[in-house]
Structure 1
């Protein structure tokens, strides 16, 4: 009886953890989108200048600023270069999150920008989403956690000889 309750508790814990996955991925995607739009807004004037004088090439604009005799322009080259690099990073992150759910999940888990992931984690508030993908993640996580923990405990018990009935032991002695 206690084993059934423990199994149920493990399943519930896995379910509650599993339903957080789609919410976290969604929050990460929204954070990337917000930063991406902000980066685009910050580059808007520089894009217009690059379009007018360098056929839209921001790298050529930065190179022009760096080559200038004016120390203010050279200093601005570093600022613009940083904005361009940030915009490219956010565009890549955004593109990676446009694929199927499993690709997005893998990206957030293994390949996401560490700073953005940490920022998302710091601001994340736990939620219970009732969307189909959240329910699927929850059920899969609950079953997996309950199965893995119970299997490990049964293997440890079998190795230690715990849990064998007297009939089984007598049968093996014969």
Structure 2
């Protein structure tokens, strides 16, 4: 009986943890989108200048600033280069978050920008989503966790000889 309750507790814990996955992925995607919009807004004036004088090439604009004899312009070149790099990063992250559910999950788990992932985690509020995707994640994680823990416990018990009947133990002694 205790074993059944432990299974239920493990399943419930896995279910609740699994339900968080789609919510976290969605929060990450929203954060990326917000940062992308902010980066584009910060570059808008420079994009207009690059369009007018360098056929839209921001790299050429940065090179022009770096080649200037004015120290202020050279200093601004680093700032613009940083803005360009940030906008490109946000665009790549946004593109990655437009894929299928499993690509999005893998991206957030393994390939996401560490700073953005940490920022999302710091601002994440636990939630119970009742969307089919969240329910599927919850059930899958609950079953997987319960199965893994029970399998490990049974393997350890089998290796230690726990759970064998006396007849089986006597047969193996002979």
TM-score scaled by length of structure 2: 0.97
Q: Could you list the per-position Cα deviations for residues 34-90 of structure 1 after superposition, in whole angstroms to 9, with x for gaps in the alignment?
A: 000000000000000000000000000000000011111111111100000000000
**4+ residue segments displaced more than 6 Å:** none
Match of 1:63 in 2: 63
The Cα shift of 1:117 comes to 0.3
Alignment of 1:78 onto 2:78? yes
Match of 1:112 in 2: 112
Match of 2:151 in 1: 151
Match of 2:126 in 1: 126
The Cα shift of 1:173 comes to 5.7
Consecutive unaligned residues in structure 1, runs of 5 or more: none
Match of 2:139 in 1: 139
Consecutive unaligned residues in structure 2, runs of 5 or more: none
Q: How many residues align?
A: 174
Q: Could you list the per-position Cα deviations for residues 89-114 of structure 1 after superposition, in whole angstroms to 9, with x for gaps in the alignment?
A: 00000001110000000000000000
Match of 1:20 in 2: 20
Match of 1:47 in 2: 47
